[in-house]
Structure 1
């Protein structure tokens, strides 16, 4: 992540399939990301990170909302290994239906 301060605009949000991550980009610089692993029918959110220079601006929440909406649009289930995602789901119960059933 970058230490430089750049624009305060809205981030460009995207799924980087090759990099297996969702990204939040401002002025061409990645300032937030969610690393994921994809398995048949399921996405595992592994780690969420925001550049320290951009923390406190809601970027992680915007990126997580985008990523969860993408999981839903692709009719996949979610395994939230990432602690940020786990906490986000507690606060945003409208995404509870995405949770994968526990393995038996």
Structure 2
């Protein structure tokens, strides 16, 4: 059974199958957002939903803290597109109009 945990020290969410690291989603945290920068799943676990579990746990954690998500990682960006119920959490830079 795959269990996802938050490794605060390493700044990443980790998926474990017993003692085996099945995958992780690394992030950089600021005062207002969490930028997911890289997601990696061990090839032995590909196609088993590990990446989606990492994305869901990470985004849910960000929501619980009242922060925003910046999806630098293409996997997390794609996951957010497929889950529009989290669109309100996506960080968007405020545009500045100059004359």
In structure 2, the residue matched to 1:39 is: 30
Separation in 1 of the partners of 2:31 and 2:15? 25
**Equivalent of residue 83 in structure 1, options 55, 68, 74:** 74
Does residue 57 of structure 2 align to residue 66 of structure 1? Answer: yes
Q: CA deviation at 1:38?
A: 0.3
Q: Normalized against structure 1, the TM-score is what?
A: 0.87
Alignment root-mean-square deviation, CA: 0.9
Q: Normalized against structure 2, the TM-score is what?
A: 0.91
**Equivalent of residue 24 in structure 1, options 5, 15, 19:** 15
In structure 2, the residue matched to 1:93 is: 84
| Number of equivalenced pairs | 95
Q: CA deviation at 1:78?
A: 0.8
Separation in 1 of the partners of 2:42 and 2:92? 32
Q: CA deviation at 1:41?
A: 1.6
Over 2 Å off, 4+ runs? none
Q: CA deviation at 1:96?
A: 0.5
Q: Which runs of 5+ in 2 are unaligned?
A: none
Q: Which runs of 5+ in 1 are unaligned?
A: 1-8
